[in-house]
């Protein structure tokens, strides 16, 4: 069974840091792009970041560039999102996603985790 399980969410003060993890099982992790999508309370989906199979390419939402870092461990089958200098507007459910990518053509997310909640508040 294909599974993505997020962890690491919680309450953090503005300006603080948090590291999200996503444990993967049921498929060849190193053969897939991976990413994070978030959803603020009562709002729509917002893409955050994606990372290539071998981590040689990474792309970010403009508002998180320079603050968030996406990474992966293809040995232990984990995806990470290091979130620094957190702001109130980063408050959201964060979903780990598996991606399907074709250069210059498409990227879509065919498997989603259940999400982990990040709350940025003093």
What residues make contact with other proteins under the rule CB under 8 A?
A: 35, 37, 44-47, 50, 59, 61, 95, 100-101, 105-115
Alpha helix segments (H runs only) across the chain: none
Least gap, CB of 13 to other proteins (angstroms):
27
Rounded Cα distance between 9 and 115, Å, is 9
Residue among 67, 57, 50 nearest 15 (CA): 67
For other proteins, give the closer residue by CB, 17 or 100. Answer: 100
Tokens, residue 3:
């599974």
Least gap, CB of 35 to other proteins (angstroms):
7
Tokens, residue 111:
């498997």
For other proteins, give the closer residue by CB, 42 or 122. Answer: 42
Rounded Cα distance between 34 and 90, Å, is 20
For other proteins, give the closer residue by CB, 45 or 88. Answer: 45
Least gap, CB of 58 to other proteins (angstroms):
10
Q: Residue 93 — φ and ψ, nearest 5°?
A: -85, 135
For other proteins, give the closer residue by CB, 13 or 32. Answer: 32
């Amino acid at each position: 069974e294909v599974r993505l399980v997020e962890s690491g969410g919680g309450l953090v003060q503005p300006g603080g840091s948090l590291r999200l993890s996503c444990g993967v099982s049921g498929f060849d992790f190193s053969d897939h792009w991976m990413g994070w999508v978030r959803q603020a309370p009562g709002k729509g989906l917002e893409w955050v970041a994606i990372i290539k199979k071998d981590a040689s390419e990474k792309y970010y939402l403009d508002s998180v560039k320079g603050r968030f870092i996406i990474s992966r461990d293809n040995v232990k089958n984990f995806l990470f999102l290091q979130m620094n200098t957190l702001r109130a507007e980063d408050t959201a459910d964060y979903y780990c996603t598996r991606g399907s990518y074709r250069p210059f053509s498409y990227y879509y997310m065919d498997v989603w985790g259940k999400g982990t909640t990040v709350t940025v508040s003093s």
